[in-house]
Amino acid sequence: MAKKKKIEENPKQNEAPATLQPITETLEKNYMPYAMSVIISRALPEIDGFKPAHRKLLYTMFKMGLLTGARTKSANIVGQTMHLNPHGDASIYETMVRLTRSNGALLHPFVDSKGSFGKVFSRDMAYAASRYTEAKLDTFCNELFSGIDKDAVDFIPNYDNTTTEPTLLPTTFPNILVSPNLGIAVSMACNICSFNLAEVCAATVALLKNPKTTVDRILELMPAPDFPTGASILYDREKMKKIYETGDGSFTVRARYEYDKANHAINILEIPYNACIEAIIKKTTEMIKAGKLREISDVRDAVDLNGGKLIVMDLKKDADPDLVIQKLISSTEMQKSFDCNFNMIIEGRPMQLGVKEILGEWIRFRMNCLSREYAFDLGKKEDKLHLLMGLAAILVDIDKAIKIIRNTEKEEDVVPNLSAGFHITKVQAEYIAEIKLRHLNREYILKRIEEIKGLEADIAELREILKDEIKLKGRIITQLQQIAKKYGKPRMTDLIEAEAVQKPDKDIFFENYNCRLVMTYGGYFKKISLQSSRSAEEQKLKEGDFIVYQEDTDNRGDLLFFTDKSQIYRVKVDDFELCKNSSMGEYVPRKLGMDEDEHVIGCKMIYDLVPEHHVVYLFENGKGVRIPVSAYVTKSKRKKISGACSSASRPVGAVYEGDKPTTLLIRSTGGRAMMIKSNLIPEKTTRTSSGVQVMKLGKKNDLLDLATDQVALLGADSAKYKKSSIPSSGAQLDQLAFEF
């Protein structure tokens, strides 16, 4: 029997052909829904001042009865919150930590906590696990849930349709400005600083009374943000006004400190809100090790339960505390900038608003909440009045009502018979039918219908409020004034006029001393202390390298490095570390981040650019140019000047000419040399000038280099190289001189 041939199936043959999807369609269908979800439902707060995660947690605690009950384990709260927030217990607990009194991140905490919840000013003081801590809602949360059971806000189903949750909390004060918020969404972010509650209430009252209240007036009532960590704001009114107008801008916050004269120490008491003590201590320690803070002998964390000192820095005997403070402020997180970005969700749309606009949106939101709350109360009172009016109707003949009920054979006929007998509605009849027999007496009915007059007055008042916007605003004003009186606190963050603050000196870390500067032909630079330079040690150089510049000076000046790519680099002498004669030094192109194949062709230390001085360039083609320093003077000190000279031919040497002409030693690849005074080369006022011919070159010969410190190596017959005019062919070098 013939063997059957095995047929191999292609697993992909039944697959549908792949279709290409335009990137725009992918973004629209896949990325945009994700982006909108992050923006709307996660990262940005809404007008009640909460992100969804905050709102779900607080509402869960409210439903658990934790507004009035005892504390419960945080793990229990986290577990219950997962009915509304399915994103994991860790993220829920982190949200809760930030809202606690113990953490100190809020001016007015929402959670009354017990246990270790870390500290906002420390990254190392970690919070304990949720099974060890306990929490309940703070009494301040009464202002978050007022009217929530009276239809003040909308409710929506939770993620699995097993319960409902509020879309917003009916906050009775502008929490959006009282509680700080930081969030990063897709293509946008928010950073809302906290403001003092009493000041915010005062500004809101002013805006309620007069919608035309100016930003300047709001600035008077709430002059600046207020942080729970205290510290001081360097106050610039114009910058703050811009933030209030646009919701965008920044201001500077500085730590609060004191000098302890008795212990000769600096105590840091409060730090900026967005700083942490560990970063300050780490940076201070690094500066001490680097020799930039030699005045400090010890720095330590001094946080205690009383919340007094945060950091203590012990000073050395002769240390100047003011100088130390200047160094700390200029280099550590003791002074930080706070960047404001008032992005939030308003009616489902992300918007960046100024302070006045935020308060205006909150007033509109609060008026809607209060209107719905009063409408709810009005409906309840009208329903109750309707029932009592029915009860009053049977007072005329109670016996008749009893007789109707007694003589009705079927239970379902009781309500229709009462309704027909007394000309009342079915709802009223149902209410009367449900009254116990013992209460169907004149005394009980008279007591109940006494409420009618009060209900009618209340209904009339509620209707007037709902019709009159001014009265509605009046109720909000009263609430805000009561909140400010009950919960208001003095400012934690004080204000210091920015102009009155002494700016740190530019040379605050500068240490001056005498030194010797050495530059080699190969691009190595040394800064040697004079004591080391006088030692018997020989200068260590790379094989074949030699010194082209050497000068005894001090550490105050700047170094100019001229390169063969027509560029000048300017750095401080202090930027280079001290070394010894036995060291090779630092390779300048690497240290300064020069371009590939860029080499140093000249070096000079200066204290400042003098316009009357000159820079002399010699080019590979034998030409030279003398450019006044005024061509390089700029308004600010530039670290790099491009196009310093002509690029028609490669520069091979550059010399800084001061008040007096410099002797230049010029060599060619043909083994010839000449010595001239630098002022023989004509001055050209433009950088791009290609100059004049200085040295005549033979065929296939180029200018090799330019030097100023090797004249002595030419020997006794150096006179033959001296030339008094240009151009010149120079004289032939002997082998020794050529190899220097």
Are residue 380 and residue 313 in the same domain, yes or no?
no
Residue 494 lies in a domain: no
Q: Give the Å distances, CA to CA, from 66 to 62, 103, 136.
A: 6, 19, 5
pLDDT: which is higher, 521 or 7: 521
Q: Is 532 helix (H, G, I), strand (E, B) or coil?
A: helix
Residue 296 lies in a domain: yes
pLDDT: which is higher, 33 or 737: 33
> Which is nearest to 288 in space by CA: 314, 306, 262?
314
Tokens matching residue 54: 């905050």
CB 193 within 8 A of CB 233: no
Which tens digit of pLDDT belongs to each residue from 142-155?
999 999 999 999 99
Domain count, the chain: 4
Q: Say which of 31, 34, 132, 513 is annotated catalytic.
A: 132
Q: Beta-carbon neighbour count of residue 334 at 10 Å? A: 25
CB 422 within 8 A of CB 341: no
Are residue 624 and residue 695 in the same domain, yes or no?
yes
Which tens digit of pLDDT belongs to each residue from 247-293?
999 999 999 999 999 999 999 999 999 999 999 999 999 999 877 88
The pLDDT of residue 737 is above 60? no
CB 331 within 8 A of CB 343: no
Q: Would you call 132 a catalytic residue per the annotation?
A: yes
In the chain the first and final C-alpha atoms are separated, in Å, by 97
> Which is nearest to 484 in space by CA: 173, 100, 50?
173
What share of the chain in percent tops pLDDT 70? 95
pLDDT at residue 740 in the model: 44
Bridge partners of residue 554, in order along the sequence = 514
Backbone dihedral angles phi then psi of residue 597, each to the nearest 5 degrees: 60, 25
The pLDDT of residue 8 is above 60? no
Tokens matching residue 381: 């009172």
E strand map for 106-217? 111-114, 134-137, 155-157, 164-166, 181-184, 189-192
Range of the structural domain that residue 617 is part of:
514-738
- pLDDT interval class at 1 (50, 70, 90): very low
The pLDDT of residue 736 is above 70? no
Measured between alpha carbons, how far is 364 from 386 in angstroms, rounded to an integer?
32
* Residue 296, amino acid: I
Are residue 267 and residue 403 in the same domain, yes or no?
no
Q: Beta-carbon neighbour count of residue 545 at 10 Å? A: 15
Tokens matching residue 435: 């009254």
Residue 581 lies in a domain: yes
Measured between alpha carbons, how far is 680 from 725 in angstroms, rounded to an integer?
7
Are residue 667 and residue 584 in the same domain, yes or no?
yes
In angstroms, how far apart are the furthest CA atoms of the chain? Answer: 149
Orientation angle between helical segments 426-433 and 355-394, nearest 10 degrees = 70
pLDDT at residue 460 in the model: 94
120, 138, 170 - which closes a domain: 170
The pLDDT of residue 458 is above 60? yes
Are residue 284 and residue 404 in the same domain, yes or no?
no
pLDDT: which is higher, 513 or 127: 127
Are residue 558 and residue 694 in the same domain, yes or no?
yes
In terms of C-beta distances under 8 Å and separation of at least 24 residues, what long-range contacts does 420-428 make, across chains too? Answer: 422/390, 422/393, 422/394, 423/393, 424/390, 424/393, 425/386, 425/390, 427/386, 427/387, 427/390, 428/386, 428/387, 428/389, 428/390, 428/391, 428/393
Are residue 434 and residue 473 in the same domain, yes or no?
yes
* Residue 188, amino acid: M
pLDDT at residue 337 in the model: 95
**Residue 56 belongs to a domain with what CATH number?**
3.90.199.10
Which tens digit of pLDDT belongs to each residue from 390-445?
888 888 888 888 888 888 888 888 899 998 988 999 999 998 888 887 777 888 88
Compute, in degrees rounded to 10, the torsion defined by CA atoms 625, 628, 632, 634: -160
447, 469, 487 - which closes a domain: 487
